[in-house]
Amino acid sequence: MTEIQEEIKVTAKDVPRIGVYVCHCGINIAGVVDVVKLKEYASTLPDVVLAREYKFMCSDNGQKMIKEDIEAGLINRVVVAACSPRMHEPTFRLTCKEAGLNQFLFEQANIREHATWVNMQDPEGAYDIAKDHIRMAVAKARKLVPLQVQKVKVEPSCLIIGAGIAGMNSALDLADEGYKVYLVERSPTIGGHMAQLDKTFPTMDCSACILTPRMVDVARKKNIEIMTYSEVVDVSGYVGNFEVTIMKKPHYVDQEKCTACGACVEYCPVVCGNEFDLGMGTRKAIYIPFPQAVPGEYTIDMDKCIKCGICARTDVCEPEAIKYDDKPEYVKVKVGTIIVATGWDLYDPTELEQYGYGRYLNVITGLQMERLLSSFGPVLGKPVRPSDGKPPHTIAFLQCVGSRNFREGGNTYCSRVCCMYATKQARQYKEKHPEAEVYIFYMDIRAFGKGYEEFYESAAENYGIKYVRGRIAEVYGGENDSIIIRAEDTLLQTPIELEVDMFVLSCGLEARADSDKVSSLLSIQRSADGFFMEAHPKLRPVDTLTDGIFVAGVAQGPKDIPDTVAQAKGAASSAAALMAQGEVEIEPYFSVVIEHLCSGCRSCQSLCPFGAIDFDEFKKIAVVNPALCKGCGTCVSACPSGAMVQNHFANFQLNSIIEVALKQPTIENGGK
């Protein structure tokens, strides 16, 4: 435990005594520029009392250097010229704090990402830019004033958006740790896509058998409040204090009175396509998505309901639970953390016209095949051809449909699970029909997980599934609704034609169609592939760049069930860590109103994107809520009176940087 010294009193009136530390960063900086020369340059700058250089400033020894200088009273401002502040600003701030110097009297000059890393072929140019950065950081350091961090309380409750296997696992862990969980799910049941799967690879566990006990667990836990058939419509606030508005869609069936007896279903005259079975099965207008749905109460799909009134008859629904005049209900909750576990959509292969999806009856997607194989699916687990209801003798699977596609608008990433799910489905079909001929056409087989390679080997050796290395180019219809496939067996270098009874497209996973709405609702980012962006691809896989909001499961990127559960538990742990501390530090970059300059025009209030500015009716001036303020600077530039000052980024601080940046030209010819 490092002893934290008591903070030395430093005010703006004190003469700045700046210490500059130039880091080699191994060869990242020192390999391109002469750090000793940079150090010497730094020591020539006004108000710099000492300059040092060291191999790795972030190391213990490097930090010790700074601490010793502070404790010896030599310096009252610190500038470290090294990597990006995103890397180590917190490190060096803590170093200052531990040595007794206010942590906001520290400034970092980025001479790695902004100088040496982007100019590796031009050492002279890199050196000039590095000098600029050091000079600018020193200029700012001169004007820095001590600030205090804000501490805000963290509500010990978490909102989890999405109740698939990821959302449910996070919910269970957090509930067990004693936190209140609001589990919001858009569809009428929890369980997500995993409920649609039949068996799971590589163990061949029945998906429903491992999922439904968890679903029941989730329903039983006192700390978890399940809100199905609900959507988050508004989120405001900040880490530890999110205010969320949830819309509970009308079921048109009183959820308290409904006993889930199912009598209404027998009488309902409307038969429509079943989303759960991807259009291959039917349901009534009043329904539950699948038999083991949790909650088990029914819902009426008003788009399909003809309001015949039969289900409302007392001899049909004895508890009189039907409510045609049901309305949406809006609920407001306050939570400390949010976990986004919204899952995925399956890629729609209709646009790949060469594969005939939507034109030929016997071309189906992998998820449709999954429903055919499912024991509570439309054919009770005995897959048949959509055209004639007979079991197919020859089946072909095509991998990488909608994935690994570098064409315009295509998903370039690998969806990770398709090689395994196709192998699994092929194996399941062979178990039911050992005489069937099953082909899997692939570009690469990715069997990366625990037990996966063995599963793949067994599929070929024990089940006789034929793997052909060649991506199918096109298909056309044959007699009796058969599908004729054209591909190249690349290992034999021969074009082949194959007639099959059924063609399964192993479609990839995509970000949900409305991810952009969720993104803007929560102010979280998406990666180029459309999935939600993690804060750091290696070291912070469950955090988002917005404090207090975490992401888990396929919402962050395609992955299998083991990885999803692991990530869900990780997100729960991160959320719990935040909530366990009970309070969180917020950086003091907020704006401050200079009261005597404020004219009360309220321009700032109408422009603030975070609703952080209130109006004091008595004093007739603007007031900033430091916890809501994110330091964006909009109010500062809008204020006509110059009454807004931004902590740590005040105009007088920024102006001094600009002045020194412009004074010395760095490009010999043409530089200003």
- Give Cα 466 distance to the centre of its chain: 37
Q: How far is the CB of 533 from another protein (least distance, A)?
A: 24
Give me the residues that bind another protein (CB under 8 A), please.
Answer: 353-354, 400, 404-408, 410, 443-444, 469-474, 476, 486-490, 493, 495, 497
18-23 and 77-82 as β-strands: parallel, antiparallel, unpaired? Answer: parallel
Do β-strands 363-365 and 394-401 pair in parallel, antiparallel, or remain unpaired?
unpaired
Contacts of 13 (CB under 8 A, 6+ apart): none
Contact of 556 with 529, CB cutoff 8 Å? no
**83/398 with CB nearer another protein:** 398
Identity of the residue, 467 or 550, whose beta carbon is nearer to another protein in the bound complex = 467
Q: Which is nearer to another protein, 130 or 472 (CB)?
A: 472
Burial of 91 (C-beta count, 10 Å sphere; 0-12/13-18/19+): middle
Q: How far is the CB of 350 from another protein (least distance, A)?
A: 11
- In degrees rounded to 5, what are phi and psi of residue 18? -95, 135
Nearer of residues 305 and 443 to another protein, judged by Cβ: 443
CA distance 229 to 55: 57
Separation of first and last alpha carbons in the chain: 50
Q: Which residues contact 117 (CB under 8 A, 6 or more apart)?
A: 28
If the CB atoms of residues 401 and 535 are measured against another protein, the closer one turns out to be 401
**Phi and psi at residue 449, in whole multiples of 5°?**
-90, -170
β-bridge partners, 375? none
Residue partners of 444: CB distance under 8 A and separation at least 6: 419
Q: In the complex with another protein, which residue's Cβ is closer, 310 or 496?
A: 496
Q: Please provide the DSSP assignment of 459-510 as one string.
A: HHHTT-PEEEES---EEEE-GGG-EEEEEEETTTTEEEEEEESEEEEEE-EE
- For the bound state, the minimum distance from the C-beta of residue 418 to another protein, rounded and expressed in Å, comes to 14
Q: Which of 652, 648, 636, 594 is nearest to 145 (CA)?
A: 648
Which lies closer to another protein via its Cβ, residue 406 or residue 618?
A: 406
Please say which residue, 191 or 508, places its beta carbon nearer to another protein: 508
CB of 122 to another protein, least distance (A): 24
Residue 327: CB atoms within 10 A of its CB come to 10
Shortest distance in whole angstroms from residue 19 CB to another protein: 49
Indicate the residue among 495 and 642 with the shorter CB distance to another protein.
Answer: 495
Kindly state the smallest distance separating residue 600's Cβ from another protein, in Å.
56
Q: Which of 127, 126, 132, 88 is nearest to 108 (CA)?
A: 88
Smallest separation, CB 534 to another protein (Å): 27
Cβ closer to another protein: 104 or 439? Answer: 439
Closest approach of Cβ 363 to another protein, in Å?
14
SS3 (DSSP) at 246: strand
Least CB distance from residue 353 to another protein, whole Å?
Answer: 4
Shortest distance in whole angstroms from residue 498 CB to another protein? 11
